[in-house]
Amino acid sequence: MQRTEERTAAKPYAGHGGTFKNTIADIDTPDPSVVYNNGYYYMTFTHNGTDVMLMKSRTLDFREAERKVVWYPPVDTMYSANIWAPELQFIRGKWYIYFAADDGRNENHRMYALEADTADPMGSWTFRGQIADETNKWAIDGLVLELDDKLYIVWSGWEGDVNIAQNTYIAPMSDPLTISGPRVMISKPDLDWERAGGPPYINEGQAILQKDGRTFLFYSGAGSWTPFYSIGMLTLESGLDPLQPDNWMKAPQPLLTMNEETGVYGPGHNSFTTSPDGTEDWIVYHATSGKHDGWNNRKARAQRVLWSEDGLPSFEPALALDTPIEAPSSSGVFRAEHAREDGGALLFDSVTASVETAAPLLAHYVNESGKAAAAAVTANGTAAGEVALPPTKPGATGYAFANAPVPLAEGGNTIGIGGCGAGCRVLAVELPRFEAEAALTEGGAVAETNPFASGRGAAELPAGEEAAVRFLNVRVPASGTYTVTIAVSNATGAEASAAVRANGGKAATLTVPPGERSRFEPLALQLKLAAGANEIELRGATGALKIDYLDITAKD
For residue range 509-532, list pLDDT tens digits in order. 999 999 998 899 999 999 999 999
Distance in angstroms (rounded) separating the CA atoms of residues 471 and 458: 12
Q: Would you call 150 helix, strand, or coil by DSSP?
A: strand
Reported as a single tens digit per residue, the pLDDT across 122-160 is 999 999 999 999 999 999 999 999 999 999 999 999 999
Distance in angstroms (rounded) separating the CA atoms of residues 471 and 501: 10
* From 31, 133, 386, 548, active-site residue: 31
Among 268, 295, 275, 261, residue whose Cα is nearest residue 41: 275
Task: Name the phi and psi angles at 193, rounded to 5.
Answer: -65, -30
Give residue 2's pLDDT. Answer: 36
Task: Name the phi and psi angles at 453, rounded to 5.
Answer: -100, 155
The answer, yes or no, to whether residue 556 has pLDDT greater than 60, is: no
The answer, yes or no, to whether residue 3 has pLDDT greater than 50, is: no
Side-chain-side CA neighbours of 105 within 13 Å: the count stands at 8
Task: Enumerate residues 6+ apart whose C-beta is below 8 A from 498.
Answer: 461, 509, 510, 512, 538, 539, 540, 541, 542, 545
Is 237 a residue of the active site? no
Q: What average pLDDT does range 465-482 have in this prediction?
A: 97
Q: What average pLDDT does range 174-184 have in this prediction?
A: 98
Q: What average pLDDT does range 229-236 have in this prediction?
A: 98
Task: Enumerate residues 6+ apart whose C-beta is below 8 A from 315.
Answer: 255, 256, 283, 303, 305, 306
Q: What average pLDDT does range 297-306 have in this prediction?
A: 98
DSSP string computed for 187-199 = E-S-STGGGTT-S
Distance in angstroms (rounded) separating the CA atoms of residues 328 and 281: 9
- pLDDT band for position 554 (cuts 50, 70, 90): confident
The answer, yes or no, to whether residue 36 has pLDDT greater than 80, is: yes
Q: What average pLDDT does range 199-212 have in this prediction?
A: 98
Task: Name the phi and psi angles at 245, rounded to 5.
Answer: -55, -35
Q: What average pLDDT does range 276-293 have in this prediction?
A: 97
Cβ burial of 334 (10 Å; 0-12, 13-18, 19+) is buried
CA 77 vs. chain centroid, Å, equals 35
CA 179 vs. chain centroid, Å, equals 32
Cα separations (Å) of 324 from 27, 452, 545? 20, 22, 20
* Percentage of the chain modeled with pLDDT above 70: 98
Opening angle at CA 339, ends 336 and 343, nearest 5: 95
Is 537 a residue of the active site? no
Distance in angstroms (rounded) separating the CA atoms of residues 507 and 107: 66
* From 5, 133, 141, 204, active-site residue: 204
Q: Would you call 315 helix, strand, or coil by DSSP?
A: coil
Give residue 388's pLDDT. Answer: 97
Please check whether residue 201 is in contact with residue 272, taking contact to mean a CB–CB distance below 8 angstroms.
Answer: no
Give residue 12's pLDDT. Answer: 83
Q: What average pLDDT does range 475-498 have in this prediction?
A: 97
Q: What average pLDDT does range 91-110 have in this prediction?
A: 98
What pTM was estimated for this model as a whole? 0.96
Give residue 8's pLDDT. Answer: 36
Instruction: Identify residue 95 by its one-letter amino acid code.
Output: W
DSSP string computed for 423-487 = TEEEEEEE--EEEGGGSEEETT-EEEE-TTSGGGEEEEE-SEEEEEEEEEEEEESSSEEEEEEEE
Distance in angstroms (rounded) separating the CA atoms of residues 50 and 56: 20
The overall average pLDDT reported for the chain is 96
Please check whether residue 282 is in contact with residue 60, taking contact to mean a CB–CB distance below 8 angstroms.
Answer: yes
The answer, yes or no, to whether residue 215 has pLDDT greater than 80, is: yes
Q: Would you call 543 helix, strand, or coil by DSSP?
A: coil
Instruction: Identify residue 544 by its one-letter amino acid code.
Output: A
The answer, yes or no, to whether residue 4 has pLDDT greater than 80, is: no
The answer, yes or no, to whether residue 5 has pLDDT greater than 80, is: no
Q: What percent of the chain is helix, strand and coil (3-state, nearest 5)?
A: 5, 55, 45
Reported as a single tens digit per residue, the pLDDT across 447-468 is 999 999 999 999 999 999 999 9
